[in-house]
Amino acid sequence: MKPMPDLSFFKLWNISFGFFGIQIAYALQSANISRIFSTLGADPHSLSFFWLLPPIMGMVVQPIVGLLSDRTWTRFGRRMPYLFVGAAGAIVVMILLPNAGSFGLHAAAAMIFALTALMFLDTTINMAMQPFKMMVGDMVNQKQKGLAYSIQSFLCNAGSLVGYVFPFLFAAVGISNIAPEGAVPDSVIYSFYIGALILVLCVIYTTVKVKEYPPALYNEYHDIKADAPVKVSLVSLLKNAPSAFWRVGLVQFFCWMAFMYMWTYSTGSVALQAFDAPVKAVDDGAVMLDTASAAYQEAGNWVGILFAVQAVGSVLWSMCIPLFGQIKHAYIASLILGGLGFISIKLMHDPFLLFGSYFFIGCAWAGMLAIPFTLLTNALRGGNMGTYLGLFNCTICLPQIVAAGTGGLVLHLLSTEGEPPSEVNMLVLAGVYLLIGAVCVLFIKGSQSKTAAA
């Protein structure tokens, strides 16, 4: 096998730079989907069902993109065509989705339109996101892989930071942060527009700066014989998956359950806990938050700021991870800090005190971004890198599907009759899940537990 050369820092940077634009789109979706659907009239007890689409589409799209791109060779590269098509679709949908309540449709039709747009946005974001993970595996040697994924983690969090604060910044400069009942405020709509523009620029930059290895050279670097038959059975690949695939997957299950709760229930929790958003009785006598109120919309913007604080915490904590003697210890510490951050939200009734909670949640996010893919790609060999990464994405998507599918029932069990749904209890449960995930890290054994691998 021909050894892959070391790449300069800027080449490593360029390989992942487009992730910045992709993550802005993903952050806008994560921070605003619950707000958008609540504004359109969704019941908090069924809010989690709207979050089923993102992981379902990821679970379907990413293995397919991995499998097909492993067998694609064009003059533009093997991963790049999927990046370009996915990003182009995401740009169109980002313009349509926040306008779901502005086309004069009645509530049910607006909800269906938004769901359809969300489905296409998830499909295209996943198609555009997966190539960046694959290109690191394709083009970076084992010695530099930890640095490459750290750069990708930094760009991911930088993109998240930008996407999260957009609505807050637009409201601060005078763009309307309230709208008629059933419509999304202009501050959110313009955020999606600017996010789409940045995504265009990032994709253009990536396609100009990054040139994938040609087939013959790629095969030499990855010890693949050109005439060797290529395995295409996903079942066979799963049966022969390295132990890291399954052991890290167990940790992933609890981690991504927790973060699905954060994305779904942060807005309602913050609105009631820290902004004293008004409530109202609905037709069946239930008590719900008044999503048309200024306090609720202000809380929605503040959630973007809190998610930005989470991104800052993630960046800073990612610098601490290499200081641990073993990466397993870093993983455990990250998840414990994140778990305590989630649980502490229930105790915080001042918007600024929530900064500490979300900062610690960012520590868990840093561990989740930096450690699993490093462990997995260092354990993989051969020509199925993209397929394995796509399959590994199921350990991210499946727990989100479980969390979204059962979220309404769990919320009902944790709420008190005659009071608004206790969404903050869902965040406490998220903290418990992260603590369970920290215990599961103990099952990860072997040589891959060295910090040097990260």
Q: Topology of domain 9-212+241-453, per CATH?
A: Growth Hormone; Chain: A; (1.20.1250)
Per-residue pLDDT of 100-117, as tens digits, reads: 888 777 878 888 888 888
pLDDT band with cut points at 50, 70 and 90 for residue 345: very high
Residue 44: its pLDDT value, please?
A: 66
Higher pLDDT, 189 or 126: 189
Average pLDDT over residues 123-129: 84
Residue 230 has pLDDT above 60, yes or no: no
Average pLDDT over residues 92-103: 87
pLDDT band with cut points at 50, 70 and 90 for residue 448: very low
Per-residue pLDDT of 39-56, as tens digits, reads: 787 776 676 777 777 778
pLDDT band with cut points at 50, 70 and 90 for residue 29: confident
Rounded CA-CA distance 451/454 in Å is 5
pLDDT band with cut points at 50, 70 and 90 for residue 374: confident
Residue 56: its pLDDT value, please?
A: 82
Residue 410: its pLDDT value, please?
A: 92
Long-range Cβ contact pairs of 405-411 (< 8 A, separation 24 or more): 405/48, 405/49, 405/52, 406/48, 407/47, 407/48, 407/49, 407/51, 407/260, 407/261, 407/264, 407/265, 408/45, 408/46, 408/47, 408/48, 408/49, 411/44, 411/45, 411/48, 411/265
Average pLDDT, the chain: 84
Residue 427: its pLDDT value, please?
A: 96
- Rg of the chain in Å (alpha carbons): 22
Average pLDDT over residues 152-161: 84
Residue 157 has pLDDT above 70, yes or no: yes
Domain boundaries, the chain: 9-212+241-453
Residue 451: its pLDDT value, please?
A: 44
Average pLDDT over residues 396-423: 87
Residue 357: its pLDDT value, please?
A: 97
